[in-house]
Amino acid sequence: MQLKLQFGYGMMDHSRVLIDTWKGGSVILSPRDLSPVQLERLAGQITSLQGGDVLLDPQFYLPYADHERLTSHEYWPSAYSTEGFWSGSDIRGLLKKLVALNKTLGCKTLILPGLYTDQVDDDWIARQNAFMEEARALTDNPLYITVALAADAVKSDESIDELLAASEKWDVSGVYLLCEHPNGEYLVTDPSWLSNVLDLVAGLKLKGKKVLAGYCNHQMLSLAAAGVDWIASGTWMNVRSFPPDKFRAPYDDEIKQRSTWYYCPQGFSEYKVPFLDIAKKQGMLDKLAPPAELGSAHADVLFSGIQPTSARWTEQSAFRHYLHCLWSQAKSARRESFDQTVDEQERALDAAEDLLASLQAAGVKGQLRDFTTSLDVNRAALSVLRSSRGPILRRKWANL
């Protein structure tokens, strides 16, 4: 499993630095956050780095969206009406422009548009098929179809089954999967939601599709157990969980709340820096330090002996530390067998639970980003995956 960068506000420099450090990697470009000129410029910079690669997310989840920067792109239809678009030549026009734009940007794989839906029904499936059929006639590049699901659709067993049945016939190499979190949660506390995401990923993989899960945070490291190929994540919370509302809002109404959070990878939790001061007072700061094998030096200053809040640890360092840790954790998440992968995840959850309990007892709180309430969510979802798909995943793991 590998990490791709999900481009968001202010990520140009992070993208260049991280891809360079990692000696390779991909950025999923965001028309919502980049003007046409910026898209081209950044794509050129990334592809000129060793192993650098870009993908373009057309972000056509909500065609009626009036997000100013999104609609400023040439491929965005100037007027969208359901009937006209799907029955006329507009869909082909959109795809032609996207194919051309992908070529200009140097994308080797094309992410096709896909409509956001709260229910997988015949209409939605027909529209997805239309995107795929039209695109296949226009390019021989590998195609990934966007599957953008509302929280209700993810939670619906019927929707998941319909989607999997429909995907049997999809003539694409992969799926770009976007799953809205329930109730706007950052860390999901609904085990049924996560269980269905795991099931969906496993089902798609078993049908021979590549799966790129977009807008992820570290909770989605669990997708390794379902054989996911990549997760994508970024800096701000609106690129760490899929936010359909952010594609409706004008771009002025963007990042408002800015706090700097330290990610403790072994606890799967994030802390505001003042709580690291508490950890230091309680003699527990070293428990929060990232394991050396993850290779993140971005947070070294916090553990250099001085009071963490005096260390002037910047937002830039926080983001790079988060993404570097996630990149390392993603690389080692998938093991040689299905059982080893799940066992390792469960072991990591157990270890995190012990750590978090001792930190909380000492007053070191992660507040809304504390993973304690999600530990059992991940456990339950993994348990369901083992029961429902375990035998087949066990058998097919090497070829997944």
Partner 1 sequence: MTVLTWLPSFLPGISNLRGLLEGGQKWVFSATHSTDGEVVVKLIKPHTADERVQREILAVKEINSLRVPRIFEDGVLRGTPAGVDLIWLREQRIVGENVRQILQRGPLPQNEIVALCSHVLEALVDVEQARIVHRDIKPENIIRGADGSYWLIDFGIARHLDLSSLTATAALGGPGTLGYAPPEQYRNQKRDLDSRADLFALAVTLAECISGKHPYIEGARDAPMVCKRIEGAPLPIPKIPWDRERKFTDFLTAMGQRRVDCRPRDASDARTWMQEIQNAFAGRP
Contact flags string 337-376 toward partner 1, x per CB under 8 A = ----------------------------------------
CB of 192 to partner 1, least distance (A): 15
Supply angle C-alpha 223, 229, 234, rounded to 5: 75
Based on C-alpha coordinates, what's the Rg of the chain?
Answer: 21
Nearest by Cα to 201 from 189, 213, 193, 188: 213
Comparison of 129 and 307: residue with beta carbon closer to partner 1: 129
Which H or E element spans position 251? none
Tell how far CA 332 is from the center of its chain: 17
Site for partner 1 contains 387 (CB under 8 A)? yes
* Separation CA 278–CA 290 (nearest Å): 17
Pick one of 206, 237, 294, 380: the residue that binds partner 1 (CB under 8 A): 206
Comparison of 53 and 199: residue with beta carbon closer to partner 1: 199
Comparison of 304 and 387: residue with beta carbon closer to partner 1: 387
CB of 395 to partner 1, least distance (A): 7
* Separation CA 331–CA 187 (nearest Å): 21
Comparison of 18 and 400: residue with beta carbon closer to partner 1: 400
* Token pair belonging to 295: 């290779």
Comparison of 88 and 208: residue with beta carbon closer to partner 1: 208
CB of 165 to partner 1, least distance (A): 7
Span 109-168, contacts to partner 1 by CB under 8 A = 161, 164-165
In the beta sheet, which residues pair with residue 4? 232
Span interacting with partner 1, options 243-251, 275-283, 369-377, 382-390, rule CB under 8 A: 382-390
CB of 174 to partner 1, least distance (A): 18
* Separation CA 163–CA 183 (nearest Å): 23
Comparison of 203 and 234: residue with beta carbon closer to partner 1: 203
Nearest by Cα to 322 from 1, 5, 2: 5
Residue count, binding to partner 1 (CB under 8 A)? 13
Contact flags string 288-327 toward partner 1, x per CB under 8 A = ----------------------------------------
* Separation CA 188–CA 219 (nearest Å): 8
Pick one of 8, 114, 203, 308: the residue that binds partner 1 (CB under 8 A): 203
CB of 136 to partner 1, least distance (A): 23
DSSP string computed for 132-192? HHHHHTT--S-EEEEEEE-HHHHH-HHHHHHHHHHHTT--SSEEEEEEBPGGG-SS---HH
Comparison of 49 and 385: residue with beta carbon closer to partner 1: 385
CB of 202 to partner 1, least distance (A): 9
* Separation CA 182–CA 372 (nearest Å): 18
CB of 389 to partner 1, least distance (A): 6
E strand spans, 201-319: 210-213, 230-233, 261-264, 269-272
User: Phi first, then psi: what are they for 355, rounded to 5°?
Assistant: -65, -50
CB of 206 to partner 1, least distance (A): 8
Span 162-201, contacts to partner 1 by CB under 8 A = 164-165
Enumerate binding residues for partner 1 (CB under 8 A): 161, 164-165, 203, 206, 387-392, 394-395
